[in-house]
Chains A and B, each alone.
Chain A
Amino acid sequence: MLGELLNPYHLQIASFIMINIILGISIYITLSSGQLSLGNAGFMGIGAYTSALLTIHFELPIFIGVILGALVAGIFGILIGIPALRLSGVYLAIATLGFGEVIRVIFVNWESVTQGAVGLSGVPHLGRELFKTVTAMGFEPEMLGLRNNQVVYLMVLTLLVVINILLIWFFIRQNKSRVGRAFAAIKMDEKAAESMGINITYYKVLSFTQGALLAGFAGALYAHVMAYISPADFAYHRAIEILIFSVFGGSEVIWGAIFGATFMTILPEALRVISEYRYMIYGVILILMMAFRPQGIIDVSLLKWIKNMIKSRRRTDHGTGTKKHN
Chain B
Amino acid sequence: MRKIAKKSYLLISVLMLILLAACSGNGTVPASGDSSKNAGGPVSAKIGVISYLSGPGAAYGEAITNGFNLALDEINKKGDVKIELVIEDSAGKQEQALTVAQKLMSDDDIVGLLGPTLSTEMNVVGPEADLNGIPIMGTSTTAAGIPQIGDYVFRNSLPESLAIPAALEKAVAANDAKTVAILYGNDDLFTKSGYDTMKKEAENMGLDILTIETFQKGQSDYNAQLTKIKDLKPDLILASALYNEGAVIMDQARKMGIDVPFVGGNGFNSPQVIEIAGDASEGLIVATPWFGEKDEPKVQEFVKKYEEKYGAKPDQFAAQAYDALYIMEEGLKNAGEADRDALRDALAEIKDLDGVLGKFSFDKVGDVVMEPTVLIIKEGKFQLFE
Contacts and interface: CB of A to CB of B under 8 A. Distances in A.
A172 B4 contact: yes
A294 to B, nearest CB: 24
Interface in B353-372: none
Contacts of A118: 143, 189, 192-193
A117 B12 contact: no
B89 A276 contact: yes
Interface in B23-65: 23, 25-26, 53-55, 58
Q: Which of B4, B23, B25, B91 gathers the greatest number of chain A CB atoms within 10 Å?
A: B23
Given A108-B186, A268-B91, A278-B89, A8 B106 contact: yes
B94 A226 contact: yes
A306 B19 CA distance: 22
A4 B102 CA distance: 14
Given A8-B106, A149-B132, A169-B4, A279 B25 contact: no
A127 to B, nearest CB: 10
Given A118-B143, A119-B189, A269-B99, A279 B22 contact: no
A117 B189 contact: yes
B186 A117 contact: yes
A228 B123 contact: yes
B177 interface: no
A117 B99 contact: no
Contact of B8 (A10, A108, A165): A165
A10 B95 contact: no
Interface string B82-114: 000001110100111011101101100000000
B106 A119 contact: no
A13 B99 contact: yes
Contacts of B191: 117
Interface stretch (A55-63, A132-140, A198-206, A229-237): A229-237
Interface string B182-215: 0000111101110000000000000000000000
A258 interface: yes
B89 A266 contact: no
A185 interface: no
Contact of A117 (B8, B91, B106, B192): B192
A230 B100 CA distance: 20
A88 interface: no
Judged by DSSP, the binding face of B is helix
A255 B20 CA distance: 21
A273 B187 CA distance: 34
A101 B91 CA distance: 22
Contacts of A121: 123, 145
Interface in A144-184: 148-149, 153, 161, 165, 168-169, 172-173
Contact of A269 (B1, B22, B106, B127): B22
B124 interface: yes
Contacts of B193: 118
B131 interface: yes
Q: Which of A16, A125, A230 gathers the greatest number of chain B CB atoms within 10 Å?
A: A230
Contacts of B187: 105, 108, 116-117, 231-232
Judged by DSSP, the binding face of A is helix
Interface in A266-317: 266, 268-270, 272-273, 275-276, 278-279
A173 B4 CA distance: 9
Contact of A16 (B54, B87, B99): B99
Nearest to B121: A228
Q: Which of A12, A109, A153, A262 gathers the greatest number of chain B CB atoms within 10 Å?
A: A12
A117 B189 CA distance: 5
A16 B89 contact: no
B16 interface: yes
A226 B124 contact: yes
Nearest to B21: A270
A8 B12 contact: no
Contacts of A68: none
Contacts of B103: 9
A184 to B, nearest CB: 19
A230 B102 contact: no
B120 interface: yes
A230 B189 CA distance: 9
B224 interface: no
B18 interface: yes
B15 interface: yes
A128 B127 CA distance: 11
Given A118-B193, A272-B88, A8 B23 contact: no
A276 B23 contact: no
Contact of B53 (A109, A255, A276): A276
A262 B120 contact: no
Contacts of A116: 186-187, 192
A103 to B, nearest CB: 13
Nearest to B196: A118
Interface of A: 7-14, 16-17, 105, 108-109, 116-119, 121, 125, 128, 148-149, 153, 161, 165, 168-169, 172-173, 226-228, 230-233, 255, 258, 262, 266, 268-270, 272-273, 275-276, 278-279
28 contacts: A7-B106, A8-B106, A9-B99, A12-B98, A13-B99, A108-B186, A116-B192, A117-B187, A118-B193, A119-B120, A119-B123, A153-B102, A165-B12, A168-B8, A173-B4, A226-B94, A228-B124, A232-B187, A233-B94, A266-B18, A268-B91, A268-B96, A272-B26, A272-B88, A272-B89, A272-B100, A273-B25, A279-B54
Given A8-B102, A125-B127, 17 more contacts: A7-B106, A9-B106, A14-B16, A119-B120, A121-B145, A128-B131, A165-B12, A169-B4, A227-B124, A228-B124, A230-B123, A232-B120, A262-B15, A266-B18, A268-B96, A276-B58, A279-B54
- Which 10 interchain pairs have the tightest Cβ spacing? A270-B22, A9-B103, A9-B102, A228-B123, A117-B192, A108-B187, A12-B102, A8-B102, A273-B26, A12-B99
